Amino acid sequence: MSRLLLLDGHSLAYRAFFALPAENFSTKTGQHTNAIYGFTSMLINVLRDEEPTHVAVAFDVSRDTFRMQEYAEYKAGRSATPREFSGQLPLLNEVLDALKIRHLEAPGYEADDIIATLATQAEAAGMDVLICSGDRDAMQLVSDRVTLLYPIRGVSELTRMTPAAVEERYGVPPGKYSDLAALVGESSDNLPGVPGVGPKTAAKWIGQFGGLSGLVANVDQVKGKVGDALRAHLDQVLRNRRLNQLVRDLDVGATLPELERRMWDREQVHTVFDGLEFRVLRERLFATFNTVAQEAEGGFAVDVETLTSATLGPWLAAHARSGADVGVHVVGSWARGTGDLGAIALATTQDRVGYVDVTDLTPAAEAALGDWLADASVPKILHDAKGPIQALAARGWTLRGLSLDTALAAYLVRPDQRDYDLTDLVLRQLGRDLHRDAGAQDGMLDFGADDAAEVDAAGVRALAVLELGAALRDQVDAAGGTDLMREVELPLVDVLAEMERTGIAVDMDRLHALEKDFADQVALAQDDAYDAIGGEQINLGSPKQLQVVLFDTLGMPKTKRTKTGWTTDAEALADLYTKTEHPFLEALLRHRDATRLRVTVEGLLKSVADDGRIHTTYEQTIAATGRLSSKDPNLQNIPIRTEEGRRIRESFVVGPGFESLMSVDYSQIEMRIMAHLSGDEGLIEAFRSGEDLHRFVGSRVFGVEPADVTPAMRSKVKAMSYGLAYGLSAFGLSRQLTIPTEEARALMEEYFARFGGVRDYLGSIVQDARGTGYTETMLGRRRYLPDLTSDNRQRREMAERMALNAPIQGSAADVMKVAMLGAHRALADAGLASRLLLQVHDELVVEVAPGEAAAVEALVRREMGAAVAMDVPLDVSVGVGRSWHDAGH
């Protein structure tokens, strides 16, 4: 049976807007997304639960409709549409376009009229109809074939309104609902009803006289005050009836066959959802509708050869040593610098696919496989290779000859993408279904030597990686990323894997003492907060209870309004404390800080491995700028400028058999890159002179001698200099420095007057990026910014800020990667036992072996200072100590 789903886009998106806190749903660009998120989440649920064969979404164009022309006060009571909501509607249409769902508008009419027209046509065509709308006027459309899904809480809960349900709730059948609404009125539409007449009275009259027409014909028979009121307001009732009656014969610009559900555009879904930062929602979409088989043009039919100890060596010699790429898939698991290995599948360009159970090899066969894996002359392609490298290393094998990592290649081509899953990439790039003709449906296969399906699945993945590599290699080259891939990203995989395996030692006693201390601070701050409000014990983590205390009990100035009340987020509370300096807020902020620190330490304690070291996991494909990320635990997120952060760093210590930790970092690398890229003579002179940069710049901006630059002047110039590298606006600078916007603008103008090269460079970046569609780092890393030409001002301005900072931030990330590679290679070439442990933004942490400190410092300084050729020196600072904190400088 054909089933048509019709959704009132405006009604549902508006409900979602108020159901989800706007401050919790916005992108890095500042674009609010709560209405889009709520609507899309609800849409996924309804499509899953109702399985419609046809779908359409109807939207209002404006409030200027035929109804308003008849009655100027129609919907006049409604407040102005929030700008944060209106700005989301074009983006919601982008979501629907990506999902291939028609969205319709009709100037002069409302979304409900479009829905009424299509529902009437569908019912006549023998289709079942589902209407999803929060507008009660849709009740009149309910019939044996038309069901209304009416939201009763936000858009997360829908109730089914059948003819029986409508009559039970309102006392009249759906066909008479318009009559009842005309009598009772509709406050949301500013249609007043008959005074004193409620739904029960109206329903009684409609039942007694057969409907509104019968009631009007016999209006004199209605007795009492309500009868007088009805007669006095009869014209108003009839007008209400004309206005609430939905139009059923519009030309909506689409026929029913054109509304048939179509397969979404996966590439477009990725693009739109990446822009909206809907990673989890996208995963839910793909998981809910497993459409890969429908989207794919075919699968992978392979003949996998199971290799034994006897056949492995000859097979490798015959098929995997030709110098051509070999696709490699490792069956196993990996985490926290180690792993476990069960099998390896290999696919060659000769259309040969082999599978070997590594748990059942003879020593000679193991050695043969190990030699092949370590042979750098054999080019190998893997997907997300660092994990498999850890599994191989846990078995004593080394992987060399990595010619391409398909996850890294996809990242270089689309750095703003949020996911590089192999199944998805194979579908998008090759139009193939990774699981068709393969037994296993999971990326991490459960190894079972006797399971033919798992053997085939592993072989398919090896072949898919090989073919995907060929497709992506051309795209990387077209994006100008071949050298970056070959010389930086691929070599870095091995270095990061080794750093993860090594880990960093921790002082467990100190960590436990810190955990207790932060827990004590949490308790003390809680008690202080209770004392500040007369001993009342509330949940300091409950926004609702905080709202009562702050705005009712204490009568503090209201913060930003949300659906759940006045916001109590960190920024709002800090601003409130600045205004009031109330002891409750001081204790509350202290409680939040101590709680965050306690959670951080608890996470570190849980991460300590049996060797007494923490093994973080580095990710190369997260930050679009090229910066590395750290997780499980995130060691890049430990504060450095606070006393508490320094205490945490004291817990990271030199391990047994080593002498000290050495911290080596770049000084003002982003400003140095700014000077180099802009060619500004003033900035270049500042760095070459060796003077304090911000004091030098401050003397130029404020027109005083360097010695006369005050700390306040220096702070302003420092904030502005770094802010310019991040696309900071005058408004942003004013907030950062707590000065008027005009003063901030004047400060920036004076800065640019003195450093015209910076102004010209920043202007040229955006202009060039508009022409090419991307920005580029010193090493050729591109970031594509399609929103530079967007009609949405907010998105366009954010893209401009990204265009300003991407070359600088990205170049700094690239320089650090080159420095890491150089330092790692130099340590090995010198035969030193010292080793790299951590990379944290612009800092490297080295564990120094006894007697090697001087040599290590010299070679690391050399490699970091010579990572790239620049017009200004790359200044390197070095510190040494027992702990990470002691090594700070």
β-strands 157-161, 504-506 pairing: unpaired
Residue 559 has, within 13 A of its CA and on its CB side, a CA count of: 27
Residue 760: alpha-carbon gap to chain centroid: 33
Which structure tokens are listed for 166? 């409508």
CA proximity to 332, closest of 370, 388, 280: 388
Q: How many CB atoms lie within 10 A of CB 238?
A: 13
pLDDT for 665-678, tens place per residue? 999 999 999 999 99
pLDDT band at residue 441, thresholds of 50, 70 and 90? very low
Identify any residues that bridge with 879 across adjacent strands, giving them in sequence order: 663
Asked if pLDDT for residue 568 goes beyond 90, the answer is no
- Mean pLDDT, range 133-143, rounded to an integer: 93
Tell me the C-alpha distance between 631 and 611, whole Å: 19
- Residue with the two structure tokens 């990387």: 476
Q: How many CB atoms lie within 10 A of CB 754?
A: 18
Identify any residues that bridge with 850 across adjacent strands, giving them in sequence order: none
**With contact defined as beta carbons under 8 Å apart, do 627 and 813 qualify?**
yes
- Mean pLDDT, range 805-828, rounded to an integer: 96
- Mean pLDDT, range 155-184, rounded to an integer: 91
Tell me the C-alpha distance between 766 and 764, whole Å: 6
Asked if pLDDT for residue 247 goes beyond 50, the answer is yes
Tell me the C-alpha distance between 631 and 621, whole Å: 13
pLDDT at 564: 66
- Residue with the two structure tokens 């020196």: 873
Asked if pLDDT for residue 549 goes beyond 60, the answer is yes
Tell me the torsion sign for CA atoms 187, 192, 198, 204. negative
Tell me the torsion sign for CA atoms 626, 628, 634, 640. negative
Least confident of 216-220, 331-335, 448-452, 535-539: 448-452
**Strand extents, DSSP E, 212-363:** 304-307, 326-335, 338-348, 353-357
- pTM value > 0.85: no
Asked if pLDDT for residue 425 goes beyond 70, the answer is yes
Q: Does the domain spanning 3-163+247-259 belong to CATH 3.40.50.10800?
A: no
pLDDT at 752: 85
- Mean pLDDT, range 493-517, rounded to an integer: 97
Residue extents of the structural domains in the chain: 3-163+247-259, 292-503, 516-614, 670-811
Residue 477 has, within 13 A of its CA and on its CB side, a CA count of: 7
For the 670-811 domain, the top CATH level (class) is: mainly alpha
- Mean pLDDT, range 182-197, rounded to an integer: 85
Please provide residue 146's backbone torsions phi and psi, each rounded to the nearest 5 degrees: -115, 120
β-strands 402-405, 380-382 pairing: parallel
Cis before 807 (ω within 30): no
Query: Based on C-alpha coordinates, what's the Rg of the chain?
Result: 33
Which structure tokens are listed for 43? 């849409």
CATH number for the domain whose boundaries are 516-614: 1.20.1060.10
Tell me the C-alpha distance between 617 and 631, whole Å: 5
Which structure tokens are listed for 704? 């005083």
- Residue with the two structure tokens 């589902």: 130
Tell me the C-alpha distance between 426 and 408, whole Å: 14
Tell me the C-alpha distance between 436 and 441, whole Å: 9
pLDDT > 70: percent of the chain: 97
**With contact defined as beta carbons under 8 Å apart, do 716 and 738 qualify?**
no
Could you tell me the fold of the domain covering 292-503? Nucleotidyltransferase; domain 5 (3.30.420)
Tell me the C-alpha distance between 787 and 552, whole Å: 44
Asked if pLDDT for residue 2 goes beyond 90, the answer is yes
pLDDT for 77-97, tens place per residue? 677 778 888 889 999 999 999
Amino acid at 41: S
65 or 876: which carries more pLDDT confidence? 876
pLDDT at 562: 67
Tell me the torsion sign for CA atoms 318, 323, 325, 327. positive
pLDDT at 450: 47
Tell me the C-alpha distance between 309 and 312, whole Å: 6
Tell me the C-alpha distance between 147 and 475, whole Å: 49
pLDDT at 443: 36
**With contact defined as beta carbons under 8 Å apart, do 24 and 84 qualify?**
no
pLDDT band at residue 100, thresholds of 50, 70 and 90? very high
Asked if pLDDT for residue 11 goes beyond 50, the answer is yes
pLDDT > 90: percent of the chain: 61
352 or 190: which carries more pLDDT confidence? 352
CA proximity to 396, closest of 297, 501, 320: 501
H-run or E-run covering 158: strand 157-161
pLDDT for 596-610, tens place per residue? 999 999 999 999 999
pLDDT band at residue 563, thresholds of 50, 70 and 90? low
**With contact defined as beta carbons under 8 Å apart, do 762 and 724 qualify?**
yes
pLDDT at 456: 92
Tell me the C-alpha distance between 101 and 322, whole Å: 49
> What mean pLDDT, rounded, does the chain reach?
90
pLDDT at 824: 98
- Mean pLDDT, range 560-577, rounded to an integer: 79
CA proximity to 449, closest of 337, 359, 330: 359
Asked if pLDDT for residue 418 goes beyond 70, the answer is yes
Alpha helix (H) residue ranges in 343-451? 363-373, 386-394, 406-413, 422-430
Identify any residues that bridge with 776 across adjacent strands, giving them in sequence order: 782
Asked if pLDDT for residue 440 goes beyond 50, the answer is no
User: Which whole-number Å values give the CA distances from 814 to 596, 628, 640, 667, 772, in the listed order?
Assistant: 31, 10, 23, 16, 21
pLDDT at 447: 40
User: Which whole-number Å values give the CA distances from 720 to 651, 724, 797, 808, in the listed order?
Assistant: 34, 6, 19, 15
Q: Please tell me what DSSP assigns to residue 444.
A: S
**With contact defined as beta carbons under 8 Å apart, do 267 and 428 qualify?**
yes
